[in-house]
Structure 1
Amino acid sequence: MTVREFRNRDLPELLGLLKTQDERASQRSMTPEGRSIEDLALELGELSPYTELVPLVLEQHGQLAAYVALCNYDGEAFLEGPLMRPELGAADVAPLLERAVSEAKVRGYSFVEAFVDEENVRAQDALAASAFEPFRTTYIYEFRRGSDLTPLSPSRFRFEQGEVDVGVYRDLYRETSDNWATRLAWRDEDLRERFSDPQVSLTLVYQDDRPVGHLELERLPDEGYAEVAYFGVLPAARGQKLGRELLLRGLHEAFAAPDVELVLARAHDDERAASVTLESVGFLLSHGVVAYTLELK
């Protein structure tokens, strides 16, 4: 077997692996989104969504046997894949992962992450054999248009949308979960740009004029779905079914857009209360994604 850089002639075989993955949860991992040769060529080339992309393949008997790509997005390194043919095991793809890790070290990354479906045992075994360690499982939930959606009812809380006070938002974001950190590094102008997007809405909820919770909804009408990016309630305000009210309002808002057929939400494995709240309003568990990390320094 030979490890080498991806070439355009690999596109048809990569597309075949991707279509096989789509049919079987046991083979899913984070991979390119394109599902045509033309879209894949653009995604792996001039229209890559990443700051840097290093796609690699494992070749066996002149055919593409496995794929991994080292990706850089806003300075963070992670892998697409490993995506491999059904007959391959952890030992077979070890050289491919070793090459990806080597590329990450050369670029000076402190760590590299990978994301695979909870049912993709072969990819998990391959990552573990290359010293990657699991650190979190994220559960993806779905609510489809036409499902039983509870009507909104009068509330003793006040819900507001409009111009965002980034200081208030940042405090809520920090205090509603110990696991969230990404947005804390955003500048004020980054947050204002995010919430000025007409497809993004932020709902703040008040109790006695004090902000106690928030829900961020992003609509992707061209893709036919919306996503609850974040929702949370301050610890002191929990136990009043406020999270449930926020989610119901988010669902009603999402489905007010005629092109939205599906709403997605997520909860980490240590956020059992969030999972219970999602299920209480009718979200159904779709799948779990296991995150792996490898420290390089």
Structure 2
Amino acid sequence: MIRPMQATDAPDVLALLNWMDDAPEREVFAPDSRDARELQLECEDNTCFVLDGEEGVVAYCAIGPFRDGMVLEGPISEPEAAGALTTLVTRAIEEAEGLPVYAFCARDNLAVRDALERAGLNPLHTTDFYSAPLEKLTSRARVPDGHSLARRLPIEEYRALYRDSEDAWAGRLDWGPEQYDAHFARDDVRLVVLRREDRTIGFAELELHPDDARADLTYLAVHPAERGQGYGRVLLALAAAEADTHPEIRTMRVRAHDHMRAARALYAHAGLTHCRSVMTYLKEGDEEA
């Protein structure tokens, strides 16, 4: 039976989340919490459903606000409940009331991919992740002659570079000054800006994950007029050098969508190794909604 999640279901849902964590091919977009109380609080902003089995909850799926529509958390299920995933996803999608619905899962998560497609979601793109030890990336970390580094960037310049370089993170273009300042005031966020005279050439943005000994290069942007001159390699190395100033960080991870050929070539040339692939799915919204 599919029903709304209750507070008493938190231990069973946590067991499903931990089961997912045990194998990369089971990955889906899911709650971060791995504590019953924190999970209960995190789920309050979403509409959550579970599937009952003979001995408790055997599947979970939720839906909540995201970009211009909604996003699915899950679905996650025990292997014997995989056949019910499409029904669970369909029930969650009903809560979108005609808005677009996004979903994310590992490329190798075939059971979930089948359920999403049967429920009417279509693959949008694949995002590949690559990683390398910092020491492999920092050897070329030099500021070119006539250039300088900065740690801040006016929001107008940040938006302009983002707009010229990225088509998938439009939410950041809607940030106001307070949101922008709060993001870069975080202890785990770093910005490396490369300038020539009074012109911004590009920037690299990092998020630090000391518990995992990892830094994520969340974004690398080079001004369109400056591309083809090796600035991507420079910014990649400088970002690694910034991460290397934190003793607990050992590796850096980057990402590239399947249409980002230049980024993929850059990461391959730098010696990063493919480590993970995530599929993005979308169910288009109802124009009359």
Q: Hey, what's the Cα distance between the residues in 2 that align with 1:178 and 1:206?
A: 23
144-153 vs 96-105, greater mean Cα deviation:
144-153
1:127-166 matches, within 5 Å, as 127-145=116-134, 147=136, 149-153=138-142, 155-156=144-145, 158-166=147-155
Residue aligned with 1:45, SS: helix
Q: Hey, what's the Cα distance between the residues in 1 that align with 2:265 and 2:156?
A: 29
1:79 aligns with 2:69: no
Q: Which amino acid aligns with 1:23?
A: D
Alignment partner for residue 101 of structure 1, among 81, 93, 103? Answer: 93
Q: Hey, what's the Cα distance between the residues in 2 that align with 1:139 and 1:160?
A: 29
Structure 1 counterpart of 2:192: 203
Structure 1 counterpart of 2:253: 264
Query: CA offset at residue 291 of structure 1?
Result: 0.9
Change beyond 3 A, Cα 1:66–1:254? same
Structure 2 counterpart of 1:125: 114
Query: CA offset at residue 213 of structure 1?
Result: 1.2
Cα contact 2:104–2:280 (8 A) shared by 1: yes
Q: Hey, what's the Cα distance between the residues in 1 that align with 2:6 and 2:44?
A: 19
Residue aligned with 1:248, SS: helix
Structure 2 counterpart of 1:278: 267
Q: Which amino acid aligns with 1:26?
A: E
Change beyond 3 A, Cα 1:148–1:242? closer
Describe the superposition over 1:146-165 as per-residue Cα deviations: whole angstroms up to 9, x where unpaired.
55642424513523224432
Change beyond 3 A, Cα 1:69–1:160? same
1:286-297 matches, within 5 Å, as 286-297=275-286
| Percent identity of paired positions between Structure 1 and Structure 2 | 31
Query: CA offset at residue 215 of structure 1?
Result: 1.0
Change beyond 3 A, Cα 1:53–1:44? farther
Cα contact 1:21–1:27 (8 A) shared by 2: yes
Change beyond 3 A, Cα 1:153–1:75? closer
Structure 2 counterpart of 1:68: 61
Q: Hey, what's the Cα distance between the residues in 2 that align with 1:276 and 1:193?
A: 33
Alignment partner for residue 39 of structure 2, among 27, 44, 49? Answer: 44
CA RMSD of aligned residues (A): 2.4
1:24 aligns with 2:23: yes
Task: Calculate the TM-score normalised by the size of structure 2.
Answer: 0.88
- Gap runs ≥5 in structure 2: none
Task: Calculate the TM-score normalised by the size of structure 1.
Answer: 0.86
Q: Hey, what's the Cα distance between the residues in 2 that align with 1:154 and 1:261?
A: 22
Say which structure is richer in helix. Answer: 2
Q: Hey, what's the Cα distance between the residues in 2 that align with 1:198 and 1:92?
A: 42
Q: Which amino acid aligns with 2:173?
A: L
Alignment partner for residue 235 of structure 2, among 230, 233, 246? Answer: 246
Q: Hey, what's the Cα distance between the residues in 1 that align with 2:59 and 2:169?
A: 33
Instruction: State the aligned residue count.
Output: 286
Cα contact 1:204–1:213 (8 A) shared by 2: yes
Q: Which runs of 4+ in 1 moved over 6 A?
A: none
1:233 aligns with 2:222: yes
Structure 2 counterpart of 1:34: 33
225-234 vs 136-145, greater mean Cα deviation:
136-145
1:218 aligns with 2:211: no
